[in-house]
Amino acid sequence: MTPLHFSYHSAFIISIMGLSLHRTHLISTLLCLESMMLSLFIALTMWPTQLQIPSLMLTPMLMLSFSACEAGMGLSLLVASSRTHGSDQLQNLNLLQC
């Protein structure tokens, strides 16, 4: 395993651990999701470069645009939940009360 592979695999694993262990605030879960998407973006960018296949170069840009949409949606949900519930703690968010 090359150091590059190790770095984005470890970044993905650390973000999964952060997502599963630190679920107190909505902003921390959104940051963990963003770091997962960025490590996948780096992996998808390096994969066609190492295999020297030019036809797969559009895939990382498509994923990056989807992750930007996901980030915008997450931030809008964060603003809406903090306005209605008063904080961004995940304990206060109960879908049965809506």
Nearest-angstrom CA–CA distance, 31 and 48: 27
Decide: 46 and 18 in contact? Cβ < 8 Å: no
pLDDT digits (tens, 9 = 90+) for 28-56: 888 898 999 999 888 888 887 777 877 77
CA 7 from chain centre, in angstroms, equals 16
pLDDT digits (tens, 9 = 90+) for 3-34: 888 988 999 999 999 989 887 888 888 889 89
Hey, what are 39's tokens? 């490590």
Is residue 31 included in any domain, yes or no?
A: yes
The single-letter code of the amino acid at 10 is S
Is residue 69 included in any domain, yes or no?
A: yes
We report the CATH number of the domain holding residue 81 as 1.10.287.3510
Decide: 74 and 25 in contact? Cβ < 8 Å: no
For residue 30, what are the domain limits? 3-87
Is residue 94 included in any domain, yes or no?
A: no
pTM score of the predicted model:
0.79
Number of structural domains the chain divides into:
1
